Chains A and B, each alone.
Chain A
Amino acid sequence: MQSKSDLGRRALVLVPYGWLAVFFLMPFLLVLAISLSSVRLGMPPYEPLYAWQGSLLSIRLNLENFIFVVGENTYLLAYLTSLKVAAISTALMLAIAYPLAYGIASCAPQTRSFLIFLVIVPFWSSMLIRVYAWMSILRNDGLFNSLLLNLGIISEPLRIMNTETAIYIGIVYTYLPFMVLPIYANLSASDRTLIEAARDLGCSRLAAFWRVTFPLSLRGVAAGSALVFIPVIGEFVVPDLLGGADTQMIGRTIWMEFFNNRDWPVASAVTVLLLAILVIPIVLFQTRLSRTSK
Chain B
Amino acid sequence: MQSYVSIENLSKSFGFFTAVDDVSIGIGKGEFFSLLGPSGCGKSTLLRMIAGFETPTSGAVRLDGEEVTDVPAHRRPTNMMFQSYALFPHLTVGKNIAFGLAQDRLARAEIRQRVSDVAEKLQLTALLDRKPQQLSGGQRQRVALARALVKRPKVLLLDEPLGALDKNLRTETQHELVRLQRELGLTFIIVTHDQHEAMTVSSRIAIMRQGKVLQIGSPAEVYETPVSRYVAKFLGEANVFEGGATRRSGNDLAVESAEAGGSVFATAADHVSTNGRFWVSVRPERVELARQGDGLEGVIEQFSYAGSGRHYRVRLKSGATLDALRVNLGAEDDLSVGDTVFASWMPQAARLLAD
B342 at the binding interface (Cβ < 8 Å): no
A196 touches B90 (CB 8 A): no
Q: Of B73, B79, B82, B151, which one neighbours A193 at CB under 8 angstroms?
A: B82
A191 touches B103 (CB 8 A): no
Residues of B within 8 A of A169 (CB): none
B82 touches A207 (CB 8 A): no
Q: Roughly how many angstroms separate A198 CA and B88 CA in the complex, as a whole number?
A: 9
Q: Of A194, A201, A211, which one neighbours B79 at CB under 8 angstroms?
A: A201
Q: Roughly how many angstroms separate A197 CA and B99 CA in the complex, as a whole number?
A: 10
Which residue of chain B lies nearest to A196 when distances are taken between CB atoms in the complex? B53
Which residue of chain A lies nearest to B104 when distances are taken between CB atoms in the complex? A202
Chain A, interface size: which category? 10 to 19
B86 at the binding interface (Cβ < 8 Å): yes
A261 at the binding interface (Cβ < 8 Å): no
A201 touches B89 (CB 8 A): no
A199 at the binding interface (Cβ < 8 Å): yes
A215 touches B90 (CB 8 A): yes
| Majority SS at the chain A contact face | helix
Residues from 142 to 156 in B contacting A, C-beta threshold 8 Å: 147-148, 151
Residues of A within 8 A of B73 (CB): 196, 199-200
A198 touches B89 (CB 8 A): no
B84 at the binding interface (Cβ < 8 Å): yes
Which residue of chain A lies nearest to B131 when distances are taken between CB atoms in the complex? A294
Residues from 192 to 242 in A contacting B, C-beta threshold 8 Å: 193-194, 196-204, 207, 211-212, 215-216
A193 touches B89 (CB 8 A): no
B80 touches A212 (CB 8 A): no
Residues of B within 8 A of A193 (CB): 82, 84, 86
Q: Scoring B residues 296 to 309 as 1 if CB is less than 8 Å from chain A, else 0, what string do you get?
A: 00000000000000
B277 at the binding interface (Cβ < 8 Å): no
B86 touches A202 (CB 8 A): no
A201 touches B84 (CB 8 A): no
Closest Cβ of chain B: how far from A97's Cβ, in Å? 21
B147 touches A201 (CB 8 A): yes
Q: Of A191, A203, A207, which one neighbours B86 at CB under 8 angstroms?
A: A191
Q: Roughly how many angstroms separate A215 CA and B88 CA in the complex, as a whole number?
A: 10
Q: Roughly how many angstroms separate A200 CA and B47 CA in the complex, as a whole number?
A: 13
Q: Roughly how many angstroms separate A193 CA and B44 CA in the complex, as a whole number?
A: 14
B interface residues with partner A (beta carbon < 8 Å): 51-53, 72-74, 78-80, 82, 84, 86-90, 99-100, 103-104, 147-148, 151
Closest 6 CB pairs of A and B: A201-B100, A197-B86, A202-B103, A193-B86, A199-B73, A200-B80
Given A197-B86, A197-B87, A203-B103, 14 other A-B residues pairs in contact with their CB atoms under 8 A: A193-B86, A197-B82, A198-B88, A199-B73, A200-B53, A200-B73, A200-B79, A201-B99, A201-B147, A202-B74, A202-B104, A204-B74, A211-B99, A211-B103
A interface residues with partner B (beta carbon < 8 Å): 191, 193-194, 196-204, 207, 211-212, 215-216
